[in-house]
Amino acid sequence: MMDYTKIIAVDFDGTLVENKFPRVGDPIWDNIEAIKKEKKAGAAVILWTCRVGRRLADAVRTCELYGIELDAINENLPGIIQGFGGDPRKIFAHEYWDDRAVRM
């Protein structure tokens, strides 16, 4: 398995932008700057969203517009797939950023 310092799976609606689904909401700048800082520090970033089709394309374009560099979109990183011997449905990450998360 490839060694990643940190993998962050980040949600889109309600986390990077205000939740206005199916539209794209206004940016949540604190979270956008935080994910960009993590990426600059070496983290891999996976966009982890329920959006599909055109709505997913809107989210990806919005991330690009705000300077968020993505390593994957709704899929595991290649080294993780290799390490597990296949691509499990669950996205593997060290951190999951989501507005609906419950801290255990």
Residue at token pair 């206004």: 26
Cα 27 from Cα 88, distance rounded (Å): 31
3-state DSSP assignment of residue 40? helix
CB atoms within 10 A of CB 75: 14
> Tens-of-pLDDT digits for all 104 residues of the chain?
456 689 999 999 999 999 999 999 999 999 999 999 999 999 999 999 999 999 999 999 999 999 999 999 999 999 999 988 998 889 999 999 999 998 88
Query: Among 24, 97, 96, which Cα is nearest to 66's?
Result: 24
pTM for the predicted model, two decimal places: 0.93
Domain boundaries, the chain: 7-97
Query: Among 59, 56, 77, 78, which Cα is nearest to 7's?
Result: 77
Q: Given 3.30.1020.10, 3.90.1170.40, 3.40.50.1000, 3.40.50.12780, which CATH number is that of 7-97?
A: 3.40.50.1000
